[in-house]
Structure 1
């Protein structure tokens, strides 16, 4: 009836997550062409000319299903489709805590959400955290960040001083905005600056300048974070909006209720217009890497911080455990590691795994603070894909999915095939994503799947044990971190008698 899932005991082969990381890092180092650089060094290290550059591009709220190479015939992504043919395509890449600030904090630290404490938007990441920007900088890299930040926690339009930039030297950033035309940003000073036109295009031009300036001189690690295709959906340049003149022709997932189909189509047309614009920006970055003759020695990543429900399951935005929210595109092109030919890897990769994997590919030692796994050996083809699952969670539901809007705490696992989720009261969701890709049949209480549910529950329990997650009610985590609720996010208080 269903295939056997990964044995829970495989996790126990490693006494601790850190021991696994040490082993993986050593294995990657022995096969690497460049020397391993130590994070523990107190002074900057002069990197080898073989050390790769890194260009990490991530959009906001771009779900995995919204690309041509994923089989979507409505969206126009010819440049990404070509890039996928030359890249490692992680088809089960997961945003384990699918919302903006939590993703970004885990991307920068390689840690899970209850370790770094960013499980709620607009909270500040510890400025003393060991982050990917600091690690690359210590290894002798030039570091830069362009676009949306959203882990400063001092106001969405406030200037971010150098001591809170987490190791990034070049800086053209705003904490957060969803105005994508002539939007505000800051450089090294608190002088207000504004992007010229559609900000993703202007940010891409800035990234191209950065690449041209540093190409061939010293290795660099550049992160570019676009605001689109996050709502508002109708603000892409007219050139791209005209590609989708008839929203009624846009196909919908079958899990969108009939009553919402008209609205969903209109918003999807705008969503796809943003994506078409960003696809051209990807082409511009690729052209610049080729122009500078560094495309073979540059790790290029395209991904997203989380997905977008867009009315599937009668839901909007993110935070939720369904595929449209948690699964994201993830392409990694680094010809020197995988030979320049593309291939798909269906092994789940989670947000905390990104930092150690990039460091492993770059020949840089992985800090002890990192909790994610280094999959650089899988990318190089010298290590078999992991049979583990990705942990997904919502420690505290908030904002558009707050308690009073139906939000709930949950923990779950996403394997190659299955999604299993429990909320604070017990098992909630179980889907066979292979047989039911739109997750329309919840198998959680189907007797024939009781054994599978038990196996997945054991796997989830092991994950929670590994990450020291006691799965407490959300308000307890808010109190633990001394966080204040935004607006009406908190649980509804009982009426006075």
Structure 2
């Protein structure tokens, strides 16, 4: 732990559970549009819909960098990717990072983590996926004590994990369900004192067709409606993928219903901040592609619900201003009445929320410092920076302005307004906001190679391959 880390005292500072518990549930690759309370009438999510009726609903929760490990590092540290250095999957979050669990632990909280971790990384020069099946050493758990974790797997059936003692176990059946059972057990055993628990599910991240059969049978791919930005030649494939994706989502919804019932049974619902969100979305054949990294809403917008009855009651309220990944930790700390360390770069919006106001945040930053894996350079990936406001998306690449959308008039982002004369004033306004955001985060927007060199990283496999004029080719 670095000098700016909190120290661990022998006696907890909180003698009784008068500070809120935190239960943070994270899905992987669940995009904002695919959930009942958001207006989707073909997905089955009754428990999340009920939760939404009792929660703050963040309409514009935006992942700052739409990839797994970078999101996790930014959430746990409250920092931007170029500060903590995890801007590429399977790179290690430094031990020196000051994280959520360490901060809450110093305040007297019990800490627990269940599910996918994806922050241990691999040694420089090792196979890029070499650490995914290995235990995470105790000093790499960033302050979490209760521990039932797999670094990374996308096999959600009878998958294995490691406990606090690095002993290997199996999640029997579809792992979402035994992971949820462990979470309920943790809550029951820790209900007399404040705790922070993070439950990190693997799905609905692909593979899309591995949910339990009973959930797959709920969806007929042939009847599913698609977003209008799915090209015609991909629509049959998109419906099949969407049906499998929905099956995972409905299975998770069932697990969340069980988890909420466990919280009710423990008698701590009123004093528990319950958050449901996702790391990033999935293109799901919009624009003819799948997965993430890209700056379009299907990849960057995620569902987010926050229920805290003691402070917000149990009536639904929609929050319209955008909130970014680094803002989540300081806002949770603010709601928990825990001082916010200087290392945190995100904004604390708790005062606005408690006052019944919107966030008063004009925009949140989106970025991709280094394209990699499924969107590597040779597949059309490019470095970009951008902003998402309530209404607009504006993105630049290394050549200059790239994308501008009016998401109110054009919700499927079919018409790029960049460099059109009639939108010159709007583009200038968006560019000014972006420049302020980059200045505030000390982001010089350099080519990918510069950041890889600064952090002594190696590209994985063929990620670095590109034509000299790859940006012009992708225009």
Give the shorter-chain TM-score range: over 0.9
- How far apart are residue 230 of structure 1 and its match? 0.3
Calculate the TM-score normalised by the size of structure 2. Answer: 0.94
| CA drift at 1:85 | 0.7
User: Aligned to 1:421, which of 391, 395, 405?
Assistant: 395
Shift of 1:340: 1.8
Q: Which residue of 2 aligns with 1:434?
A: 408
1:67 Cα deviation after fit: 0.2
Structure 1 segments of 4+ aligned residues over 3 angstroms from their partners: 38-45
Shift of 1:39: 5.6
1:42 Cα deviation (Å)?
5.3
Task: Look up the match of 1:46.
Answer: 13
- 2:90–2:118 CA contact under 8 A, matched in 1: yes
CA contact (8 A) 1:39 1:139 kept: no
Match of 1:209 in 2: 185
Q: Give the direction of change, closer, same or farther, for the CA distance of 1:413–1:420 in structure 2 (3 Å limit).
A: same
Question: Quick check: 1:186 aligned with 2:153?
Answer: no
Does the 8 A contact of 2:333 with 2:340 survive in 1? yes
Shift of 1:363: 1.1
Question: Could you say if the C-alpha distance between residues 315 and 493 of structure 1 is closer, same or farther in structure 2, counting changes exceeding 3 Å?
Answer: closer
Which secondary structure state, in structure 1, belongs to the residue aligned with residue 111 of structure 2?
A: strand
Displacement after TM superposition at 1:381 (Å): 2.2
User: How far does residue 447 in structure 1 lie from its aligned partner after superposition?
Assistant: 1.2
How far residue 191 of structure 1 moved from its aligned partner, in angstroms, is: 2.5
SS at match of 1:295: coil
State how 1:144-163 maps to structure 2 within 5 Å: 144-154=112-122, 155-163=131-139
**Alignment partner for residue 200 of structure 2, among 220, 225, 235?**
225
Match of 1:263 in 2: 237
Tell me what 1:74 maps to.
42
Question: Equivalents in 2 of 1:176, 1:51: separation in Å?
Answer: 32
1:198 alignment partner in structure 2: 174
Distance 1:313 1:447 in 2: 25
Indicate yes or no: 2:23 matched with 1:55.
yes
Partner secondary structure for residue 296 of structure 1: coil
Which among 258, 268, 287 is matched to residue 261 of structure 2?
Answer: 287
Q: CA RMSD in A?
A: 1.5
Paired residue secondary structure (2:342): coil
**What SS does the aligned partner of 1:227 have?**
strand
Of 141, 151, 161, the residue aligned with 1:165 is 141
Alpha-carbon separation, structure 2, partners of 1:487 and 1:43: 46
Find the counterpart in structure 1 of residue 93 from structure 2: 125
Distance 1:478 1:486 in 2: 11
Q: CA deviation at 1:387?
A: 3.1
The alignment of Structure 1 onto Structure 2 pairs a total of residues equal to: 456
Question: How far apart are 1:46 and its partner, in Å?
Answer: 2.5
The whole-number CA distance in structure 2 between the counterparts of 1:254 and 1:185 is 40
Equivalent residue, structure 2, for 1:22 = none
CA distance 1:440–1:494, shift in 2 (3 Å): closer
Q: Partner of 2:344: helix, strand, or coil?
A: coil
Instruction: Tell me how far 1:55 sits from its aligned partner.
Output: 0.3
Any idea what the Cα deviations from partners look like across 1:184-225, whole Å, max 9, x if unmatched?
Answer: 10002233211010001110011011111111x211100000
CA distance in 2, matches of 1:39, 1:67: 38
Query: Aligned to 1:235, which of 210, 217, 228?
Result: 210
Moved more, 265-274 or 375-384: 375-384
Distance in 1, Cα, partners of 2:17 & 2:459: 49
Distance in 1 between residues matched to 2:153 and 2:44, nearest whole Å = 25
